[in-house]
A and B are shown apart, each in its own frame.
Chain A
Amino acid sequence: MNKHSTYSITAESLTKRFGDFTAVDNISFTVGKGEIFGFLGANGAGKTTAMRMLCGLSSPSSGKATVGGFDVYTQTEKIKQHIGYMSQKFSLYEDLTIKENMRFYGGIYGMSIPAIRSKTEEILKTLELVKEQDRLVRTLPLGWKQKLSFSVAMFHSPQIVFLDEPTGGVDPLTRREFWEMIYQAAYEGTTVFVTTHYMDEAEYCNRVSIMVDGRIAAMDTPASLKRSLHADNMEGVFLQLARDAKRAAD
């Protein structure tokens, strides 16, 4: 990790092509340390492809990017050690218990047994799951699962955490508790890179980028985006940008 850099993520003309289809088209941005960065876009805009490149899971076609100071072409293993990842679709092993999942992820990240033990205790206490630690994850209510997934993604104290639609389908109260966990993580210095379809959640981000057809159509603080597009809320911003681009694509 380059200690002098103030950026957790940098991308410069980052591009990914599949045959003659350009999924991610020349995107450039930076994410500061401890920032909550909302990565929005319509379905098929290229968010997942961009995220996979940043997580070291897919090699770019051209352009540059660093995550935690590591290069996305040559240092993908280093990147994986320094990031956390959670998606709504997959995070925890359903047929392992709460405790076993934490033991498993701690092991994957090469943590020592005492470190795993103390971190496990800390999380069980914070989430009030001490009594439930031996329950299979499959049997947990969705809201608990999502909060637990986030804690497991943060288990090895990563510098950056990637959250791919973390709150889909959860009740409004849990969704807010979840965002408080995000705030807390950012407050403690973790950089948060998050995608969501809930436009009110876009308001909770320090900055937001909106991807349309592989490009970044807009990137700024929610307040500035609303001001410059004369929109009352982020939904208005999103609809304007995504609609315009669709017309251009037809």
Chain B
Amino acid sequence: MYSIEAEHIVKTYPTEDKGIKTALKDVSFTVDQGELFGIIGPDGAGKTTLFRILTTLLLPDKGSARVTGLDVISDYRSIREQVGYMPGRFSLYQDLSVEENLRFFATIFNTSIDENYGLIRDIYVQIEPFRKRKAGKLSGGMKQKLALCCALIHRPTVLFLDEPTTGVDAVSRKEFWEMLSRLKKEGISILVSTPYMDEAALCDRVALIQDGRILGIDQPKGFVEKHLEKIWEVRSAEMYRLLKDLRRFEKTKSVHPFGDFLHLTLTDDQENEVVAFLNTAGHRDILIRPAIPSIEDIFMGLMKTPEAKA
């Protein structure tokens, strides 16, 4: 049995100008038990709509979905008892203290903090010094940890985390992902969404999503291995001029900034011609070598396919 099973989900919303916006277009995927599965895509891709359908808070127009084998429409009550959900927007009670929030969520699920303390201990000890503080007065990183504790307090079998790391700095993001890998070891299945593509590498499998459509599902490594187009990384002393010059090079297919390099694809892979061209253009300290494609390269490649544009 899959932890999560989505089949051909479609969801539309009416727009202001009396049109229809399709938030999800035929979305299908499965998540195995104990799997850490990432939904990766930019704002407006449909991530939150998908989460709301799977957590029984929104009805799909078409298609079906099951969570731990239970139907999201007919068995919604049982699902709600078994899943933990951390919405994208901070949704705890701002005027309750850290401790009060946690006790409140435990009580709602007919349990107590003590009963499942083992599961949250590692995370809770980090915010325990502030247990009397009102949740509204916590820093972003601490709010995030408290919200995770509240989503875990009834020991859910499936955990839904909608953009838990958005707007969070690199240090807190790293810590958060370390917490997730520990939870995974407890056997909890986790569906997590993020707009940060570099976080894909931390998932068992990921679905890349754009404009309500899944562009591809694979292991992070699988995406890289199946990416056939050769990508070059190029650097010179003047990066902006390099970008502009490579744009007008006749054999350039695409060129984009990637950290301290540009990523370049060519119509034929003759890197000496690139070097010759750049030398003529007066570039200094030229370096060109094959690059390992990143998830962003792959995402951008998939975005351009005719299917994605349809």
Write the residues of chain A forming the contact surface with B, with a CB cutoff of 8 angstroms.
Answer: 41-44, 136, 138-139, 141-143, 165, 168-174, 176, 179-180, 183, 186-187, 197-200, 203-204, 222-223, 233-235, 238-239, 242-243, 246
Q: How many A-B residue pairs have CB under 8 A?
A: 88
Q: Is the CB of A197 within 8 A of B42?
A: no
A117 CA / B195 CA spacing, docked (Å) = 37
Q: Which residues of chain B have C-beta atoms less than 8 A from A179's C-beta?
A: 257
| 6 closest residue pairs by CB, A with B | A169-B43, A171-B42, A200-B259, A172-B296, A42-B169, A203-B259
Q: Is the CB of B16 within 8 A of A139?
A: yes
* Per-residue contact bits, chain B 245-280, to A (CB 8 Å; 1 contact, 0 not): 000000000001111100000000000000000000
* Contact (A238, B167) CB under 8 Å given A44-B140, A174-B42, A223-B260: no
Q: Which residues of chain B have C-beta atoms less than 8 A from A42's C-beta?
A: 169-172
* Per-residue contact bits, chain B 289-310, to A (CB 8 Å; 1 contact, 0 not): 0000000100110010000000
Q: Which residues of chain B have C-beta atoms less than 8 A from A199's C-beta?
A: 170
* Per-residue contact bits, chain B 227-256, to A (CB 8 Å; 1 contact, 0 not): 000000000000110010000000000001
A243 CA / B170 CA spacing, docked (Å) = 10
A143 CA / B43 CA spacing, docked (Å) = 9
CB of B174 within 8 Å of the partner chain? yes
Q: Is the CB of B296 within 8 A of A43?
A: no
* Contact (A187, B240) CB under 8 Å given A42-B171, A197-B168: yes
The listed residue (A138, A141, A242) touching B169 by CB distance below 8 A is A242
Q: Is the CB of A139 within 8 A of B15?
A: yes
What 4 new A-B contacts, CB under 8 Å, besides A170-B43, A180-B243?
A43-B169, A44-B140, A44-B141, A138-B16
Q: Which residues of chain A have C-beta atoms less than 8 A from B210's C-beta?
A: 171
A150 CA / B196 CA spacing, docked (Å) = 21
Q: How far is the CB of A165 from chain B (nearest CB, A)?
A: 7
The listed residue (B169, B239, B303) touching A197 by CB distance below 8 A is B169
The listed residue (B170, B197, B239) touching A172 by CB distance below 8 A is B197
A-B contact pairs, 14 of them (CB 8 A): A41-B169, A42-B169, A42-B171, A139-B16, A142-B43, A142-B44, A169-B166, A171-B42, A187-B240, A198-B196, A203-B260, A234-B259, A238-B170, A246-B171
The listed residue (B17, B139, B170, B260) touching A242 by CB distance below 8 A is B170
Q: Is the CB of B240 within 8 A of A173?
A: no
Q: How far is the CB of B310 from chain A (nearest CB, A)?
A: 16
* Contact (A200, B258) CB under 8 Å given A142-B44, A171-B303, A187-B240: yes
Q: Which residues of chain A have C-beta atoms less than 8 A from B171's C-beta?
A: 42, 238-239, 242-243, 246
CB of B41 within 8 Å of the partner chain? yes
A143 CA / B195 CA spacing, docked (Å) = 13
A136 CA / B139 CA spacing, docked (Å) = 35
A139 CA / B15 CA spacing, docked (Å) = 9
* Contact (A235, B42) CB under 8 Å given A169-B195, A173-B303: no
Q: Which residues of chain A have C-beta atoms less than 8 A from B140's C-beta?
A: 43-44
